[in-house]
């Protein structure tokens, strides 16, 4: 079995709007009420996937969920026509595009049965995300239906909040070798909620049958959460033997670094000092919400938002890091401004799965031709703009449903419509 890293990006859905639903997500709050551009947002996401493919990386995609979520509204004894504005906004959210929150994934080399284990995130701390997991699970069970290679579990039950891979990192000497799995949880965030509960992280580790000696549970710094780092992937990213993180990412970084060096002496820890890049600037630019990837020709690249290049603090530091001839050799800015305005950078848009691509349902794997087809559907069917005041418009609901159906048909996934 030839294992490869597959980045599954969420295709940004036709209901993409700025309702400001995510407490603690500063970009979401600051842009609440803005007119969104679903078509431009989704096409930006397609170009990001093209960037990965052209780097020689394996690329997959997950599809937008039903919006408004009438099934969820029915559990609340209402429907889209009668739900109040706040409830309807929660039913219309396109936040499933951020597939870093879709699930936690432990690859086969780390599990005691040699299968890749996945647990959909329950996302119970945010109403607009709490109803995503049933459709997420349906897509996971379809994409990874081969029981010989994959195990897809039920989510962790409420009230223990699980936000998926956005609070998870893996280090390993090489992708296919046994790794160290790092679960990052929160205890306090000042005015903002700590969304990842330690009980949820521990439950996922047990579900995935991980080696306790190679599984770490680390507390995210309350200062980071209070500054707007609502997920760990806003202040840290890891790949193979490299951990890139902010100086203030963790409550007890020294203990984490010591533990990593004991388990993996070759680990490279690149800590960005707060006196060069403040927490505020790191969160504003999403420096760490980047994809740290291994290139086929060797070395690593950091795929990060264009906002990082525009920062007078972040970009010079990154250029110095690359010039230092460390493991990260390339900086690749991508334009995902529509997603960024709602609080999601390049890493938010993808779920990393280490698996043999031949064991994955090929309908979820992307190439240039498929992206052309997806892009054509988006260009013709996605709304150009959505005004937050128009979320209650039945004509908008019909257009969103029609656009979504056209995409599923284009990818021959009509059984999931």
pLDDT at 234: 97
Region 330-342 average pLDDT? 97
- What is the set of active-site residues? 163, 231, 348
* Contact partners, residue 155, CB within 8 Å, separation at least 6: 119, 120, 121, 122, 133, 137, 162
Region 222-242 average pLDDT? 96
Question: How many domains, in total, are found in the chain?
Answer: 1
pLDDT at 175: 83
Whether the predicted pLDDT of 27 surpasses 90: no
pLDDT at 28: 87
pLDDT at 31: 86
Cβ pair 138, 206 in contact under 8 A: no
DSSP string, 115-139: SEEEEE---TTSHHHHT-HHHHHHH
Cβ pair 158, 124 in contact under 8 A: yes
Cβ pair 392, 41 in contact under 8 A: no
Region 272-292 average pLDDT? 97
Q: Band the pLDDT of 52: cuts 50, 70, 90.
A: very high
Whether the predicted pLDDT of 1 surpasses 80: no
Q: Band the pLDDT of 117: cuts 50, 70, 90.
A: very high
Region 406-412 average pLDDT? 98
Domain that holds residue 409: 4-416
Across the chain, mean pLDDT equals 97
3-state helix, strand, coil in the chain (%, to 5): 40, 20, 40
DSSP string, 17-70: ------TT-HHHHHTTTPPB-HHHHHHHHHHHHHHHHHTT-EEEEE-PPPSS-H
- pTM of the predicted model, to two decimals? 0.97
Region 377-387 average pLDDT? 98
Q: Band the pLDDT of 328: cuts 50, 70, 90.
A: very high
How many Å is the Cα radius of gyration of the chain?
A: 20
Closest C-alpha among 373, 372, 371, 366 to residue 406: 373
Whether the predicted pLDDT of 251 surpasses 80: yes
Region 244-262 average pLDDT? 97
pLDDT at 25: 85
Q: Which H or E element spans position 342?
A: none
Q: What is the CATH number of the domain that holds 167?
A: 3.75.10.20
Region 101-118 average pLDDT? 98
């Amino acid at each position: 079995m030839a294992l490869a890293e597959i980045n599954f990006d969420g295709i940004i859905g036709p209901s993409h709007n700025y309702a400001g639903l995510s407490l603690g997500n500063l970009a979401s709050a600051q842009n609440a009420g803005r007119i969104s551009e679903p078509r431009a947002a989704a096409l930006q996401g397609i170009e990001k996937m093209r960037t990965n493919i052209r780097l020689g990386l394996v690329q997959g995609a997950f599809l937008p969920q039903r919006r408004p979520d009438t099934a969820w509204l029915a559990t609340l004894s209402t429907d889209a026509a009668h739900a109040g504005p706040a409830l309807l906004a929660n039913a219309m959210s396109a936040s499933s595009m951020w597939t870093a929150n879709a699930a936690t994934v432990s690859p086969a080399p780390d599990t005691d049965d040699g299968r890749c284990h996945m647990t959909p995130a329950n996302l119970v701390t945010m109403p607009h995300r709490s109803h995503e997991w049933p459709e997420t699970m349906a897509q996971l069970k379809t994409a990874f239906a081969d029981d010989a290679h994959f195990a897809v579990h039920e989510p962790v039950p409420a009230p223990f909040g699980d936000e998926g891979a956005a609070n998870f990192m893996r280090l390993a000497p090489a992708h296919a070798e046994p790794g160290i799995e790092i679960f990052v949880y929160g205890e306090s965030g000042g005015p903002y909620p700590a969304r990842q509960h330690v009980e949820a992280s521990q439950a996922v580790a047990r579900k995935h049958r991980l080696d306790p000696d190679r599984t770490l549970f680390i507390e995210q710094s309350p200062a980071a959460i209070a500054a707007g780092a609502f997920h760990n992937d806003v202040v840290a990213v890891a790949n193979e033997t490299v951990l890139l993180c902010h100086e203030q990412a963790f409550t007890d970084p020294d203990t984490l670094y010591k533990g990593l060096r004991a388990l993996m002496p070759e680990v490279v820890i690149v800590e960005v000092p707060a006196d060069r890049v403040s927490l505020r600037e790191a969160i504003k630019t999403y420096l760490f919400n980047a994809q740290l990837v291994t290139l086929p020709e060797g070395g690593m690249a950091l795929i990060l938002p264009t906002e990082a290049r525009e920062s007078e603090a972040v970009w010079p530091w990154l250029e110095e890091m690359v010039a230092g001839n460390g493991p990260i050799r390339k900086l690749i800015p991508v334009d995902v401004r529509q997603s960024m305005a709602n609080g999601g950078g390049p890493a938010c848009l993808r779920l990393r799965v280490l698996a043999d691509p031949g064991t994955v349902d090929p309908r979820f794997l992307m190439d240039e031709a498929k992206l052309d087809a997806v892009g054509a559907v988006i260009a013709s069917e996605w709304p150009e703009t959505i005004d937050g005041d128009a979320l209650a418009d039945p004509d908008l609901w019909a257009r969103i449903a029609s656009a979504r159906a056209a995409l599923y048909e284009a990818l021959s996934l009509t059984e999931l419509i």
